Amino acid sequence: MYTRRQMNEALNLYHQCGSVTETIQKLGYPARRTLYIWIDDEDTPREPRKTPTANAVSSPRYASLEVKTEALRRCFEEGERVESVAEDIGYTKSSIFAWQKKYLRGGAVALMNKKNIPPRKPPKGSSDSEREVAELKAQLFEMQLEIDILKETINVIKKDPDADQTALNNREKAVIVGALKNRYSLPLLLKKMFLAKSCYYYQENALAKPDKYAQLRERIKEIFKESKERYGYRRIHGQLVKQGCILSEKVVRRLMRQERLRVEIRRRRRYNSYQGETATVANVIERNFHADRPNQKWLTDITEFAIPAGKIYLSPLVDCFDGLLPSWTIGTRADATLVNTMLDNAIAQLNTGEHPIVHSDRGCHYQWPGWIERMDKAQLISSMSKKGCSPDNAACEGFFGRLKNEMFYNQDWTGVSIEAFSHTLNTYLAWYNEKRIKTSLGNMSPKEYRQSLGLAL
């Protein structure tokens, strides 16, 4: 059945590893009985089995932790031959190599087998000192187990070390158990993690399967990076749908949570331009921010950006039809020039017969003669919020919130000049009009939405 070459290959491998089982596992042949026959019929006599020394006769069946560590030190630090050390301590070469594998995986704790684990209760008839030592060993073992579980909680599943172990899901518990099962017994770990044995094996099989979302994870990371970490799961889901990927928002949210893709948000004090009443203007909008056509309702306000190089102010107009920004100005002073220039640029874009409502807060800029003169000349309708009532201009405030969360907050602006920051801000506003998708517009940007309706920009 087997050629001479196969027989010699099996015998050579057997002499190298010294194990019939390992030889058959590596080669896949022959049967155990056949290999024994080849060994007996071999012309070259085998090395005679060494008789155990006096130490070997007295050696216990399970080696202690001290014996194991000393054997590993002699073999792999001092360079003694494994055969000599095995003969001296009374254990086989395979045992020493097995101890080495366990030590490389989990350190000295992994060398503790069931016989090394201190009993929870001291044996009957023990003295008080023996009982106390046994209790201390048991406590030490429990503490080491707790420490290892906490380490795996941090390293493997990236959880807070103070997290309640019972609050972890079964998948996370299975990951921890799988990382520690080479150091501790499986029943002990399952009991400690409050995990049923059937649940552990189910999760183990599930973890062994290839990740069906591997390509999707990479695409989500790319979209998140392209948006400069501004898109949450809803907009990333919308972007994927635009690309022809059909899936649930919940899947995107779960994958982003697993990949730790999170949009950082930080709140800061808002700029306030109120300086008292100089004119009485009614609230025409009355929180109705819906518009049936472009250039019907415009919202405006001023917001401040404070960076180490100085302060920058933004004055935009927001169209209630689709959120498009018809005009904006950026400057280092919140003065009349900032808002009047913005209004002049917007009026220049109006078609004949268009006279939108311009809604603002009661800031002084919108009560000065220059602003009022421009409004009257273009026949624009003025509308103002109540004093100190930000919900009256909620749509504009919402735009400022998105702008700062996506572009300004959680960024280090140290060393950035005012000119460079103004350029970055201007680039973002252009991107907001042309490319940033809005779920309310069917995952299209304001510019794309108007183009889909055949409206001129």
| H helices present in 259-393, as ranges | 336-347, 369-377
Q: pLDDT, tens digit, for every residue of 364-423?
A: 888 888 989 999 999 999 998 888 788 888 899 899 988 998 888 878 899 999 999 999
Q: What is the pLDDT of residue 315?
A: 93
pTM above 0.75, yes or no: no
Q: What confidence score (pLDDT) does residue 48 get? A: 46
Summarize pLDDT for 394-411 with one digit per residue, the tens.
899 899 988 998 888 878
**Tokens in use for 132?**
């106390």
What is the C-alpha separation between 133 and 45, in angstroms, rounded?
Answer: 52
Question: Measured between alpha carbons, how far is 455 from 433 in angstroms, rounded to an integer?
Answer: 15
Span 244-271, average pLDDT: 80
d(CA 348, CA 230): 32
Q: Which residue has the tokens 């194990």?
A: 19
pLDDT of 429 over the 90 cut: yes
Query: For the CA atoms of 419, 423, 424, 429, what is the dihedral angle to 10 degrees?
Result: 140
**CA 142/CA 134 separation, integer angstroms:** 12
- Mean pLDDT of the 50-68 span: 61
pLDDT digits (tens, 9 = 90+) for 119-146: 555 555 556 777 777 778 777 877 877 7
Strand 310-319, strand 381-384: pairing:
unpaired
